[in-house]
Amino acid sequence: MPEETGVMAVLEVKDLIKDFGGLRAVSNVTFHVDEGEIMGLIGPNGSGKTTIFNCITSYFPITSGRVFFKGTNITGMKTHQICRLGIGRTFQVVRPLARMSVLDNVTASAFSRVNSIKEARSEAERVLDFCALLGEKDKLAKSLPIGGRKRLEIARALATKPRLLLLDETAAGLNPSELDEAIELIKKIRESGVSILIVEHIMKVIMSISDRIHAINFGQTIAEGKPDEVANNRAVIEAYLGEEYAQG
Amino acid sequence: MKLKHVILGIVGGAVAVFPLIIHSDYYQHLIIIALMWVVIGSSWNLLAGYTGQVSFGHAMFFGTGAYTAGIFVTKLEISAWWGMMFGGITAMILALVVGWICFRLRGPYFALATLAGGEIFRLIATNWESLTEGMVGILIIQTFRSKLPYYYIALALAASCVYVIYIIMKSKWGYYFLSIREDQDAAESLGINTVLYKNISLLVSAFFTGMAGAFYMNYMAFIDPEVVFSLHFISIMAILVGIVGGVATIMGPAVGAFVMVGVQELFRSSFFGMAPKYVSKAHALVFGLLVIFVIMFLANGIVGDWAKIKRSIFRLKTSS
């Protein structure tokens, strides 16, 4: 159980291990995300961030460890069940439903909470408006530029009414002005009461929005704490920049 | 949008009054067969076109439906018309098993598994002689001498099949089917139970195909394994009907069914006896050429690329 902060953890990952054959991609990672918190997950390329996401949402079975969502053990549940419990996710490599319109993409996702087409469509339009995509709703998803696709990923995840949102490099590939919009959007999502676990490489984003950061390298935890603490952590600098920078 | 409804109304009306005006058994027969193919093609399209699970084995559902109706008569002495309802249901039961086994596979592997499934059923029907009479086939006595009742039964079946699929595609199921086709993993992360919805799509598809099979038994009064479990007369034909008419369109398979039955008949009859006899042997070749043509120039089929066809006709008119 998390410390007595009075705030219940939305997500708890305990002693997570994931092996791919002989390769240990994630080893003994433990962390939690508090209600209403933005938790950043950082680490160099290949350190296991996306693998952790895939373990939480059960894209593949985990080797050992447990995952709790609002106190419920969700380890081993099916991906779609986890979504229905209230965990939404986006994909690092965007996966729009290409030959469907933007509105249909989000409508399909809104059906996870409502049954009638009318409700699903109005919910989809509300979410698209929230993500500033309403103007593009009749375009085919594949015709959107990368910034739009990233926002579509978020919109689709939001339409499932998540309590926790897993964002996998939503800001990668965006230009500076799109980046600011993305930061604004993520803050707006948090204000609407959704907790967020975010993987991000762009330090401007992760440092400015995260409440806490969990850093990993080679699948192992190297640091956790407030953004400035983690940024000055020796192990983190070493992982990102190499040993000689960490000396100074 | 408006024009489309007008055309649909005119064509639908024409098909409905056709047998009252044209009394020729031959032409009525052709349309009955085409209507049956509307059902099979639309069912195949629901699974393959909309849900993205390409089946090369729809003959197993068709044959199962046909044999259910046939066995009702020969073994249980129950009217083959009851068999029509049960033909659909037996095909659904078969679909449950097929889905349970084959949906572990994705893409081309699923297609190959259904291909094997269709052949397995042909062999079962050939060899389980105590139940199916094997290669001798099942012969029943037709209920009606006139083609008219068959015509309207086929029409009702085709219309309800297309309508049900239309309704499904406008509902939550439709959105889920399309999502699964576009990206199964993403669909799963949107809270879609992909295994369940793939099975639902297969069940509906198998139900109508089984009904069509049972109708075939009633109408033709004779079946044998080589016909109703045939890979190229049923399974491949179902695919051709879908591809030529337009995959993932509501009316595509309906158009495809009439085109394919028309082309098949033109060649089978050597252009109504006007061409030399050997032309009738060429129908498989022409099917092949037709598919190549459609894939090269009308990748979305006649209905899917209708705008393109209209444009090129318009261009021909203006240039001449």
Q: Which of B173, B188, B189 to mutate against chain A (most A CBs within 10 Å)?
A: B189
Q: What confidence score (pLDDT) does residue B106 get?
A: 84
Is the CB of residue A215 less than 8 Å from the CB of residue A184?
no
What is the predicted pLDDT for the residue at A7? Answer: 56
Interface test with A, best of B178, B184, B190 (most A CBs within 10 A): B190
Are the CB atoms for B225 and B71 separated by under 8 Å? no
In the sheet where A9-20 sits, what is the strand order?
Answer: A23-34, A9-20, A64-69, A72-73
- Measured in whole angstroms, the distance separating CA B278 from the mean position of its chain's CA atoms is 28
Residue appearing with tokens 């409804």: B5
Give the 3-state secondary structure of residue A3.
coil
Q: Which of A57, A97, A117 sits opposite B178 (nearest CB)?
A: A97
Residue-wise pLDDT tens digits, A125-177: 999 999 999 999 999 999 999 889 999 999 999 999 999 999 998 888 888 88
Which tokens belong to B38?
């509307």
What's the confidence (pLDDT) of residue A161?
Answer: 94
Q: Which residue would you say has higher pLDDT here, A30 or B85?
A: A30
Contact B190 A108 (CB under 8 A): yes
Q: What is the ipTM of this complex?
A: 0.89
H-helix or E-strand spanning residue A79: helix A79-85
- Mean pLDDT of the A18-43 span: 92
Q: State the DSSP string of B109-120.
A: HHHHHHHHHHHH
- List, in order of start, the domains of chain A with CATH numbers: 9-247 (3.40.50.300)
The predicted pLDDT at position B1 comes to: 57
pLDDT along chain B (320 residues), means of 10: 81 88 90 95 95 93 94 85 88 94 87 92 91 86 87 94 95 95 92 94 96 94 91 89 90 92 85 74 80 84 85 78
Partner residue opposite A97 with nearest CB, options B170, B172, B179: B179
Asked if the Cβ–Cβ distance from A80 to B178 is below 8 Å, we say: no
Q: Are strands A9-20 and A64-69 parallel, antiparallel or unpaired?
A: antiparallel
> CB distance B178–A104 less than 8 Å?
yes
- A-chain residues within 8 Å CB-CB of B189? 57, 79-80, 83, 88-89, 91, 157
What gap in Å lies between CA A112 and CA A156, rounded to an integer? 11
Q: What angle do CA A114, A120, A123 make, to 5 degrees?
A: 105
Q: What is the pLDDT of residue B200?
A: 96
Q: How far, rounded to the nearest angstrom, does the alpha carbon of residue A158 sit from its chain's CA centroid?
A: 12
pLDDT at A247: 62
User: What are phi and psi for residue B303, nearest 5 degrees?
Assistant: -75, -45
Shortest Cα–Cα distance, A226 to chain B (Å): 30
Contact B192/A112, CB-based, under 8 Å?
yes
Contact assessment for residue B25 and residue B147, using Cβ atoms and an 8 Å cutoff: yes
Residues in chain A closer than 8 A to B247 (CB atoms):
none
Please state, in angstroms and as integers, the Cα–Cα distance from residue A157 to each residue in A14, A132, A193, following that order.
25, 15, 15
**Nearest-by-Cβ selection for B176 from A84, A98, A111:** A111
Residues listed for chain B:
320
Give me the mean pLDDT over the A91-119 stretch. 92
Distance CA B36, CA B219 (A): 10
For residue B258 the two structure tokens come to 């009439």
Residue A108 is nearest to which of B179, B185, B194, comparing CB atoms? B179
CB A28 within 8 A of CB A66: no
Are B50 and B177 within 8 A, CB to CB?
yes
Q: Which residues of chain B are within 8 Å of residue A115 when distances are taken between CB atoms?
A: 172
The candidate with the shortest Cα–Cα distance to A13, out of A61, A59, A74, is A74
What does the alpha-carbon distance between residue B83 and residue B70 come to, in Å, rounded to a whole number? 7
* pLDDT per residue as tens digits for the range A92-105: 888 888 889 999 99
What whole-number distance in Å separates Cα of residue A199 and Cα of residue A43? 9
Collapsed DSSP state (helix, strand, coil) of residue B292: helix
User: Nearest Cα to B234, choosing from B97, B143, B73, B122?
Assistant: B122
Instruction: Say if CB B64 and CB B90 are below 8 A apart.
Output: yes
Among the partner-chain residues A95, A98, A120, the one whose CB lies closest to the CB of B185 is A95
Tell if the CB–CB gap between B190 and A99 is shorter than 8 Å.
no
Contact state of A99 with B171 under an 8 Å Cβ cutoff:
no
In the structure encoding, which two tokens stand for residue B313, read together? Answer: 């006709």
CB within 8 Å: B192 and A89: no
Domains and CATH numbers, chain B: 24-319 (1.10.3470)
